[in-house]
A = this chain, B = another copy of it.
Amino acid sequence: MNIGVFGTGQVGDAIGTKLIQLGHNVRMGSRTAQNEKAAEWTKKSGMLASHGTFSDAAQFADEFIFNCTSGTGSVDALKSAGAAHLNGKVLIDISNPLDFSKGFPPSLTVANTDSLGEQNQRALPDLKVVKALNTLSNPLMVNPALVNGGDHTLPICGNDDRAKAKVAALLHTFGWKADQILDLGDITAARGMEAYVLLWVRMFGKFQTPMFQIKIVQ
């Protein structure tokens, strides 16, 4: 199918490349139609790849758009894509509201009583925002088997149950099994999923590698 990817960084590259490997047509969106990184990605990725503005990528998408923008740029990206191209579609929101202005470890630009997931949902009320994949490093997003034989946990949340089920089915093609996906409820659970990143960055500092994950045990 035709899928949009917002953002030209490492996450957008990893997600877009995986989707192409799975046979989808992918359009990478950014602020300008001629973004250099997007053009490079299109060139290396072959016939199924294209790029354009956020609006181009949103319009191109049949149903799914991955939000791989930096957290601080997310709401603006969605607004510039336009409600007409987004309404009724599903946004898989990977973005984290990271603030590196004081160096490492980062803090969050929104936290505790609100979240970027909620901000994104409020900005486009008729877009179906599903927070997912923001709790782990991009190589693991598209290849969960890289740690612990794929045995670990992926929290997701969002207001629309059917949208979450569709996202789980799409993530299944990435290698995520149904019993690894932990549905935490509505989009306000993004407060917990994004706050966890403050622990993640400390563990990253400790391990000196992003190749780790949490597994919930009972």
Contacts and interface: CB of A to CB of B under 8 A. Distances in A.
A217 B147 contact: yes
Given A148-B218, A151-B217, A198-B191, A184 B212 contact: no
Interface of A, helix, strand, loop or mixed by DSSP: mixed
A108 B112 CA distance: 6
Interface string A182-197: 1111000101110110
A213 B207 contact: no
A108 B214 CA distance: 22
A162 interface: no
Contacts of A201: 192
Interface of A: 105, 107-108, 111-113, 147-148, 151-152, 155, 157, 182-185, 189, 191-193, 195-196, 198-203, 205-207, 209, 211-218
